[in-house]
């Protein structure tokens, strides 16, 4: 396994890691992908490590993927849901985490609705923190598995044209993808209604294209995002039906493009809104490969970060 090390002891966001860190995570994930396709899918690498999975927001893919990655590495794990904990009795985040850490926990995987919650904790506690999504801010392991899946499908990320379609304003997946893809040398366009585009986002080095057909005709890869109605406090478009007419992907639209494209979606999918059901299940989409790669990417991140513990 890797003799190189990450430049960081936490994974708070793609903004805070280097292109060399991303390459190292990918090279390590290649080896773990081979492991999880063996009849015995387990290695003893983290058998002396205890990891707490703290989920203050709902999750299917990320939570199960981290739990599986930890088990495949032989780590001891504890799982925490805010809804069944003493958070509902008014305990602070820092007190909750410090109580869990006093039980000799080494690493914390956390999803939290507050942007910056992980940065706040990393400045106050000793354990390694891994961001499994912080509000509308970052979702680093999702961006890593997305870029890894593009590399697997197209051979590399460098030089590829990627369009991120949909609710950019409320999406932590979009921001982490932008940082990750640009660090790996891809070109990035964003496509969606003007009301769902964050102000000054071009300053990150991306372009905006509001016409979906033009954006798809330009790209090699489209990463299609869900409309995050649960985070929208006001109406950003008249109806889901109208959103779907202008920004939904379907086969008829793909048939008008000059070349085939690869479609990603981080999930959960709202079939018939941002993408039609038949397209989501088609040969163009690598949605389930993304989920499979998520386990290898998270094994790689956990393994490399465990090596950075004090
Ligand atoms: N992609 C993603 O973060 O999915 P979950 O919310 O189900 O974890």
Looking at the fold, whether 110 and 194 belong to one and the same domain comes out as no
Looking at the fold, whether 171 and 299 belong to one and the same domain comes out as no
Q: Tell me how far the alpha carbon of residue 64 lies from the centroid of ligand 1, in angstroms.
A: 9
pLDDT digits (tens, 9 = 90+) for 113-129: 999 999 999 999 999 99
Atom 7 of ligand 1, residue of closest alpha carbon: 60
Counting ligand 1 atoms within 8 A of each CB, the residue from 133, 173, 286, 293 with the most, and so the one to mutate, is: 133
Looking at the fold, whether 148 and 244 belong to one and the same domain comes out as yes
Looking from the CA of residue 132, the nearest atom of ligand 1 is: 3
Least Cα distance to 166 among 192, 188, 142 occurs for: 192
Asked whether residue 6 is assigned to any structural domain, the reply reads no
Looking from the CA of residue 266, the nearest atom of ligand 1 is: 1
Say if residue 41's pLDDT is above 90. Answer: yes
Q: Report the C-alpha gap between 22 and 301 in whole angstroms.
A: 10
Average pLDDT, the chain: 95
Asked whether residue 9 is assigned to any structural domain, the reply reads no
Looking at the fold, whether 148 and 126 belong to one and the same domain comes out as no
Least Cα distance to 21 among 35, 11, 34 occurs for: 11
Looking at the DSSP assignment, which residues form a beta bridge with residue 128? 107
Looking at the fold, whether 276 and 152 belong to one and the same domain comes out as yes
Looking from the CA of residue 57, the nearest atom of ligand 1 is: 6
What tokens appear for 181 in the block?
């893809």
pLDDT digits (tens, 9 = 90+) for 15-38: 999 999 999 999 999 999 999 999
Residue numbers of the domain that contains 180:
140-287
Asked whether residue 221 is assigned to any structural domain, the reply reads yes
Q: Tell me how far the alpha carbon of residue 256 lies from the centroid of ligand 1, in angstroms.
A: 31
Q: Report the C-alpha gap between 99 and 103 in whole angstroms.
A: 7
Least Cα distance to 54 among 106, 98, 97, 4 occurs for: 97
Asked whether residue 268 is assigned to any structural domain, the reply reads yes
Looking at the fold, whether 144 and 230 belong to one and the same domain comes out as yes
Looking at the fold, whether 131 and 145 belong to one and the same domain comes out as no
Please tell me whether residue 189 adopts helix, strand or coil conformation: strand
pLDDT digits (tens, 9 = 90+) for 212-233: 999 999 999 999 999 877 777 7
Q: How confident is the model at residue 141 (pLDDT cuts 50, 70, 90)?
A: very high
Helix and strand numbers, DSSP H then E, in the chain = 11, 9
Asked whether residue 178 is assigned to any structural domain, the reply reads yes
User: Residue 236 carries which DSSP code?
Assistant: S
Asked whether residue 242 is assigned to any structural domain, the reply reads yes
The answer to whether 260 and 284 are in contact (CB under 8 A) is: yes
Looking at the fold, whether 208 and 109 belong to one and the same domain comes out as no
Split into its structural domains, the chain has a count of 2
Q: What is the dihedral of CA 199, 200, 201, 202, to 10 degrees?
A: 140
Looking at the fold, whether 187 and 282 belong to one and the same domain comes out as yes
Q: Tell me how far the alpha carbon of residue 173 lies from the centroid of ligand 1, in angstroms.
A: 10
Counting ligand 1 atoms within 8 A of each CB, the residue from 58, 60, 112, 142 with the most, and so the one to mutate, is: 60
Residue 66: CATH number of its domain? 3.40.50.1370
Looking at the fold, whether 159 and 262 belong to one and the same domain comes out as yes
Q: Report the C-alpha gap between 168 and 174 in whole angstroms.
A: 6
pLDDT digits (tens, 9 = 90+) for 154-213: 999 999 999 999 999 999 999 999 999 999 999 999 999 999 999 999 999 999 999 999
The answer to whether 173 and 147 are in contact (CB under 8 A) is: no
Looking at the fold, whether 157 and 113 belong to one and the same domain comes out as no
Residue 6 CB burial class (10 angstroms; 0-12, 13-18, ≥19): buried
């Amino acid at each position: 396994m890797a003799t190189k090390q990450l430049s960081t002891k936490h994974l708070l966001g793609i903004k805070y890691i280097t292109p060399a860190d991303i390459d190292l995570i990918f090279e390590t994930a290649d080896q773990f992908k081979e492991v999880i396709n063996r009849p015995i899918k387990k290695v003893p690498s983290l058998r002396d490590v205890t990891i707490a999975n703290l989920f203050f927001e709902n999750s299917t893919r990320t939570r199960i993927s981290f739990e599986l990655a930890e088990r495949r590495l032989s780590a001891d794990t504890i799982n925490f849901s805010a809804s069944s904990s003493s958070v509902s009795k008014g305990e602070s985040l820092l007190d909750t985490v410090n109580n869990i850490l006093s039980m000799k926990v080494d690493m914390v995987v956390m999803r939290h609705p507050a942007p910056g919650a992980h940065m706040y904790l990393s400045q106050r506690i000793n354990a390694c923190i891994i961001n499994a999504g912080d509000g509308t801010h970052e979702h680093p392991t999702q961006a890593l598995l997305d870029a890894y899946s593009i590399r697997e499908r197209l051979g590399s990320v460098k030089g590829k044209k990627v369009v991120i379609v949909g609710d950019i304003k409320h999406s932590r997946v979009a921001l982490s993808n932008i940082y990750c893809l640009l660090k790996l040398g891809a070109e990035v366009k964003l496509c969606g209604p003007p009301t769902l585009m964050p102000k000054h986002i071009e300053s990150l080095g991306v372009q905006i294209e509001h016409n979906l057909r033009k954006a798809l005709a330009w790209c090699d890869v489209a990463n299609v995002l869900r409309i995050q109605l649960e985070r929208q406090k006001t109406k950003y478009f008249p109806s889901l039906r109208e959103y779907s007419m202008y920004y939904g992907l379907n086969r008829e639209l793909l048939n008008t493009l000059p070349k085939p494209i690869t479609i990603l979606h981080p999930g959960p999918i709202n079939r018939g809104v941002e993408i039609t059901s038949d397209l989501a299940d088609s040969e163009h989409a690598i949605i389930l490969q993304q989920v499979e790669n998520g386990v290898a990417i998270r094994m790689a991140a956990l393994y490399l970060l465990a090596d950075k513990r004090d």
